[in-house]
Structure 1
Amino acid sequence: MKCKKFFTLSLESIDDSYEFVQKLLLKYNCSKSDIVRAQLFVEETIVHWQKGAQENENFEISLSKRFKTITLSLNYWGNQSDPLTLPEEVDDPEFNLIGQNILIGLSSVTYSYENGCNNVSYTLKAKSANPALTTAIALVAGIFCGLAFQYFSPTIGLWLAGTILKPLIGTFFGFINALVVPVLFLSTIGSIFNMDNMAQMKRIFRSLLSWSLGIILVSSAIALLTAWIFFVGEGSTTSGGGSSDLWNQIGAMVFGIIPNNIIQPFLDGNTLQIMFLAIVSGIVRLTLKGRFPFTTKIITEGNLIFTTILDAVCAMMPLIIFINILNMMIAGNGGALLGSLGLIAMMIVPLLALVVIMLLSVALIEKMNPVTYFKAAGSFLLIALSTGSSSATFASHTLIASVKQGVRDYVVSFSIPVGALFNKQFAIPIWLLISLFVANIYGTSFTIAEIVPVVILCMILSVAVPPSPGIGPFLFTIIFNLLNIPLDGLALAVTIAIFMNYPATAGHVMVTNIGMLHTEHMLSAKEIKVL
């Protein structure tokens, strides 16, 4: 389905385009925050194009839907004008380029120029059912059906599990495994594209990046400590050769990242080597500074294609969870579900530790006690906790940061969309501990030397992987392959991760918010020094 309409390319058309976009997106039950972002995308594109346009020129707004992906496009026939490319020199860029940085910060925007037509497209998702609700229904249904087979007809249940259920699960997760390589490679390069744009706001980005990397390191250290306490058996803190073996393995992993040729990593599915190639490719692309725009189009379009496939596959996740839980119950492995309750309680501990550390930074740097902080930030943190969506907090987070917390507008407008893309630090201990828990179910244990590379991989994934609702199976496929955990355990891992996504999302929003506070503090301190 596709809808389109022409407008005069002028600032006076912004209100009419707002109304048109709102009506279109409401038909697809898009959330209010998504509509606001789409309207922001339209506004900033119009503002950019009208600067070089002739009088009475027109542009087109069109909307198309494929599966659950909605694409909002703006087309302008004229000289090439890319709103995603910031000028190299401009007076006071922190203020004069605010609008363009907002547009870039949306992260789902692509630009192309063909046959005299400038096209800017923004992709968003149609509203779907709450994943926690559908997962809970699938979980409960799988347990009850499994108990029914065990009680009434265990023989038929075993036949069903061996003949139908297990092959279905294997086929599904095998297909997800096949998507890992292209999605990982393209999404990593896509992240570097955004890093290139954000680097234009050097002082702000440097502060936000330092804060984000610091929390990533703290989160990884807490995850490793928790894994050592709960999942590393006695006498296995090192791997065979003593303490030096740990560093030998880490060294082998670091130098092993560099592949002997560019084809073999894709054939072997070596995720670390693939990420190395993606990072190198992204850096080379930055040095070329847009000399080959068709490569950008190939990457963005390829990323969209594989992301759409991944969304379509993961839309079936509740059904697969039902099948997998039913298979576990029939096979008599229902005890693993009860064990997951203890795992959830265990994971809350490192998440609370991260919250305490961030509140300490607020107390030391901002001289603000936790009660005062939560009085200001509590509303949007509760939204994140209850919805599991950082996008749902966009409007309230922006308002509170600007009005109640006193963060300057251009810092807020830049930080919130960027934070939604890159701040996933709370997911590191969740990914690691769930993976080790599933490995224990299959009778596999690990040494610290074997866990450290997995922590490093989780650190990289927390930055490189896009914040897609269906990304859970993809992430665990990568980690399970590295640890040689059977892919049959993916459904249980994803089920637990979906419920943990709610506190993790609140933590990610909190990381973004406190990072803005510290950035504002840094900017204010520099201004005082100048005076």
Structure 2
Amino acid sequence: MKIKNEKLEYMLNDSAVDSVAEKVQSFLAALNMEKKNILRIRLTVEEILLNWQEHYDGEVPFTFLTGKRLGAPFISIVLAGESVNPLERMEEECGEWSSRLLVNMGISPTYSYSKGKNIITFKPKKEKMNPMVSLLGAVALAVVLGLLAQMLPASVHEMLTEYFVTPIYDAFLGVLTTVGIPVVFLAIVSGICGVGDVASFGKIGKRMVGKFLQQEFVYAAIGTILAIPFFKLIITTKVNVGAQLASVVGMVMDMLPKNIISPFLEGNCMQLIVIAVALGLTLLVMGERTKLITKGIEQLTDIGMFLLDRLNDVVPVFCFFVVLQLIMSGTAMAVVSAWKVLVGTILLALLGVIFNLIYVGRKKEISPVVLGKKLLPPVLIALATASSSAAFGTNSVNCTKKLGIDNKIVSFGLPIGNTLCHPGHVFIFLLCSLNMAEYYQVECSVVWFVIAAGMCAIMPMVMAPVVGGTAAAYTLLFNQLGIPMTALPVALALSVVCDFFATGLNMAYLQINLLLRADEQDLLDYGVLSKTNG
């Protein structure tokens, strides 16, 4: 269904509220949004209009707009008059960080006041074609044309590679680096600043964020130890304890930038992380005095995410040319050897979920099988769509109605968890790195493994949730680990395939995390949790 721009004028009364709610539902249905998220947005619109109706005396005019801006769907409600922000209650309940995450997911609105007008804006996410279809289609086409290219004369073969395929690859890689490096940096800074808002929830918020972060690094470390034996890596072993200590010290010293410019120019991700953390903590400590700077960084992060989303549309074209280059240069066996990544991601993620089910089952005296069935609804949606946003509505209902988690935990823990809880993607980054290190015979020392585990824990938290964001993250990761950039298209193809399993299993990890945090704070209804028919 084609989306058209529409502008309607109303007088604020009960009839107008019902009419606008119907229009919102129809518009979102055309975007193929999940029904629970459609209902959530519709109820939010109704609450906003009723709030304004209660505040203003008599019927006042307002404008309702829907359509597209720069290809992105939007819903806006504009009401002239004094400033009345109907979203303040939501921000007080969820925290500014959680509210901003919901906005970025397209589920919650933003409020602004300009030129005497109250403006409410939703930016719902339109259901796009499955990225796996377009990416694998590009790879398949590249394989066919690559095999046909083998029949061409050697001079034509070399000319195509040198003057056509390679320049396109280099150009796209340059764009990824240009956009990706600042986005990773800004995402870390804005994320740290946002934690200050979670702190207002006291012990609950601090512990929840800490547990999410701790979990990512623990799974990265365990995954590294379990996965190493299954890859034929060139491991450099040094029995000299002093040399090993010197390597570790050297790694730490290399993390400290010599100046603020070179890490951005060289794409040194570890140094960028150090600068970002230092800046984020400084802004966090200074609080209100740097509020404008913090807001500016958040807005720049949103701009970067938008650019990566647009870049996402041409990723299949990029992969087509690079896979074509792989075949024409005779290095396509990197794809064949990558089956370990898919199998390893599924096994490691499942192993972690099973361990957690057994642990929670014994702790709360509930069958792990029963608990696993209770977790299934959002897991299945995420498995089918590879989208945590698509499963958000179901996940929220599932946590409260089937697991008995208090809404105080769910309201801000769920959106934060969608950003910080990615064990499945930690395993994807880790196994892709080990697989490419095996194929390209990269020398791996103890320090290399430490850096790989640390960066693979961080990357899922800071990358944009689109293929373009994943490509930017791999560009930084491979550059840091000394893996050739020709590994990028293979890693992207693997990530798209594995993303379905990883996102689905992430939903299980997230629900278990929230359940444990609720239990710690005595905010868990054991009666609801123990129901076998829930």
* TM-score bucket of the superposed structures, by smaller chain: 0.7 to 0.9
Residue 70 in structure 1 maps to residue 68 in structure 2: no
Q: CA deviation at 1:513?
A: 0.7
SS of 1:70's equivalent in the other structure is strand
Separation in 2, partners of 1:65, 1:51: 30
Once the two structures are superposed, the pairs formed by residues 333-344 of structure 1 within 5 Å of their partners are 333-344=331-342
Q: What is the letter of the counterpart of residue 22 of structure 2?
A: E
Separation in 2, partners of 1:449, 1:261: 23
Residue 423 in structure 1 maps to residue 421 in structure 2: yes
Counterpart selection for 1:358 from 356, 359, 382 = 356
Q: CA deviation at 1:307?
A: 2.0
Counterpart selection for 2:410 from 409, 412, 429 = 412
Counterpart selection for 1:25 from 25, 28, 51 = 28
Separation in 2, partners of 1:399, 1:527: 14
Specify the alignment match of 1:184 in structure 2: 184
TM-score (norm 1): 0.85
SS of 1:470's equivalent in the other structure is helix
Counterpart selection for 2:102 from 100, 106, 120 = 106
Q: CA deviation at 1:500?
A: 0.7
Separation in 2, partners of 1:279, 1:101: 17
Separation in 2, partners of 1:249, 1:266: 24
Choose 254-263 or 124-133, whichever is displaced more: 254-263
Specify the alignment match of 1:502 in structure 2: 500
Separation in 1, partners of 2:250, 2:239: 15
Q: Could you say what the CA RMSD is over the residues aligned between the two structures, in angstroms?
A: 3.5
Separation in 2, partners of 1:521, 1:288: 34
Contact 2:233 2:438 in 1 (8 A): no
Q: What is the letter of the counterpart of residue 209 of structure 1?
A: V
Specify the alignment match of 1:202 in structure 2: 202
Residues 17 and 105 of structure 1: is their aligned pair in 2 closer, same or farther, counting only changes over 3 Å?
farther
Contact 2:31 2:126 in 1 (8 A): yes
Residue 386 in structure 1 maps to residue 384 in structure 2: yes
Q: What is the letter of the counterpart of residue 443 of structure 1?
A: Q
Q: What is the letter of the counterpart of residue 460 of structure 1?
A: I
Residues 126 and 355 of structure 1: is their aligned pair in 2 closer, same or farther, counting only changes over 3 Å?
same
Separation in 2, partners of 1:279, 1:26: 41
Residues 153 and 36 of structure 1: is their aligned pair in 2 closer, same or farther, counting only changes over 3 Å?
farther
Q: CA deviation at 1:394?
A: 2.1
Contact 2:433 2:452 in 1 (8 A): no
Specify the alignment match of 2:531 in structure 1: none
Separation in 2, partners of 1:291, 1:84: 24
Residues 194 and 17 of structure 1: is their aligned pair in 2 closer, same or farther, counting only changes over 3 Å?
farther
Contact 1:149 1:330 in 2 (8 A): yes
Residues 365 and 63 of structure 1: is their aligned pair in 2 closer, same or farther, counting only changes over 3 Å?
farther
Contact 1:223 1:429 in 2 (8 A): yes
SS of 1:358's equivalent in the other structure is helix
Residues 25 and 293 of structure 1: is their aligned pair in 2 closer, same or farther, counting only changes over 3 Å?
farther
Residue 301 in structure 1 maps to residue 304 in structure 2: no
Choose 427-436 or 56-65, whichever is displaced more: 56-65
Separation in 2, partners of 1:447, 1:232: 14
Counterpart selection for 2:325 from 320, 324, 327 = 327
Separation in 1, partners of 2:317, 2:54: 51
Residues 306 and 234 of structure 1: is their aligned pair in 2 closer, same or farther, counting only changes over 3 Å?
closer
Contact 2:217 2:453 in 1 (8 A): no
Specify the alignment match of 1:472 in structure 2: 470
Q: CA deviation at 1:498?
A: 0.6
Residues 36 and 86 of structure 1: is their aligned pair in 2 closer, same or farther, counting only changes over 3 Å?
closer
Q: CA deviation at 1:25?
A: 3.2
Contact 1:420 1:467 in 2 (8 A): no
Specify the alignment match of 1:437 in structure 2: 435
Q: CA deviation at 1:321?
A: 1.7
Residues 256 and 78 of structure 1: is their aligned pair in 2 closer, same or farther, counting only changes over 3 Å?
farther
Residues 51 and 249 of structure 1: is their aligned pair in 2 closer, same or farther, counting only changes over 3 Å?
farther
Choose 27-36 or 473-482, whichever is displaced more: 27-36
Q: CA deviation at 1:491?
A: 0.9
Q: CA deviation at 1:422?
A: 1.9
Separation in 2, partners of 1:85, 1:261: 41
Residues 419 and 63 of structure 1: is their aligned pair in 2 closer, same or farther, counting only changes over 3 Å?
farther
Contact 2:356 2:512 in 1 (8 A): yes
Specify the alignment match of 1:159 in structure 2: 159
Q: What is the letter of the counterpart of residue 106 of structure 1?
A: L
Separation in 1, partners of 2:13, 2:239: 71
Q: Deviations over 1:218-246 (max 9, x none)?
A: 31112221453244746624xx5734544
Q: What is the letter of the counterpart of residue 454 of structure 1?
A: A
Specify the alignment match of 2:126 in structure 1: 126
Contact 1:78 1:117 in 2 (8 A): yes
Contact 1:219 1:425 in 2 (8 A): yes
Specify the alignment match of 1:216 in structure 2: 216
Choose 470-479 or 265-274, whichever is displaced more: 265-274
Separation in 2, partners of 1:266, 1:118: 40
Residue 39 in structure 1 maps to residue 37 in structure 2: no
Contact 1:196 1:286 in 2 (8 A): yes
Q: CA deviation at 1:314?
A: 2.0
Q: CA deviation at 1:281?
A: 3.3
Counterpart selection for 2:309 from 308, 311, 324 = 311
Contact 1:415 1:516 in 2 (8 A): yes
Structure 1 unaligned blocks of 5 or more: none
Residues 99 and 199 of structure 1: is their aligned pair in 2 closer, same or farther, counting only changes over 3 Å?
closer
Q: What is the letter of the counterpart of residue 170 of structure 1?
A: D
Q: What is the letter of the counterpart of residue 19 of structure 1?
A: E
Residue 170 in structure 1 maps to residue 170 in structure 2: yes
Residues 469 and 267 of structure 1: is their aligned pair in 2 closer, same or farther, counting only changes over 3 Å?
closer
Contact 1:73 1:119 in 2 (8 A): yes
Separation in 2, partners of 1:260, 1:467: 32
Separation in 1, partners of 2:290, 2:211: 33
Specify the alignment match of 2:345 in structure 1: 347
Separation in 2, partners of 1:365, 1:12: 52
Q: CA deviation at 1:341?
A: 1.7
Q: CA deviation at 1:458?
A: 2.2
Contact 1:232 1:448 in 2 (8 A): no
Q: Deviations over 1:97-126 (max 9, x none)?
A: 369897455142655444444545443432
Separation in 2, partners of 1:297, 1:56: 35
Q: CA deviation at 1:473?
A: 0.3
Separation in 1, partners of 2:283, 2:305: 22
Percent identity between the two aligned chains: 26
Q: CA deviation at 1:486?
A: 2.5
Q: What is the letter of the counterpart of residue 128 of structure 2?
A: S
Specify the alignment match of 2:372 in structure 1: 374
Separation in 1, partners of 2:520, 2:453: 31
Separation in 1, partners of 2:46, 2:242: 58
Specify the alignment match of 1:520 in structure 2: 518
Specify the alignment match of 2:263 in structure 1: 265
Separation in 1, partners of 2:94, 2:427: 35
SS of 2:68's equivalent in the other structure is strand
Q: Deviations over 1:198-222 (max 9, x none)?
A: 3333344244324423421331112
Once the two structures are superposed, the pairs formed by residues 41-60 of structure 1 within 5 Å of their partners are 42=45, 56=59, 60=63
Separation in 2, partners of 1:227, 1:245: 25
Separation in 1, partners of 2:17, 2:515: 32
Contact 2:382 2:503 in 1 (8 A): yes
Specify the alignment match of 2:400 in structure 1: 402
Separation in 2, partners of 1:120, 1:483: 45
Choose 216-225 or 404-413, whichever is displaced more: 404-413
Contact 2:346 2:502 in 1 (8 A): no
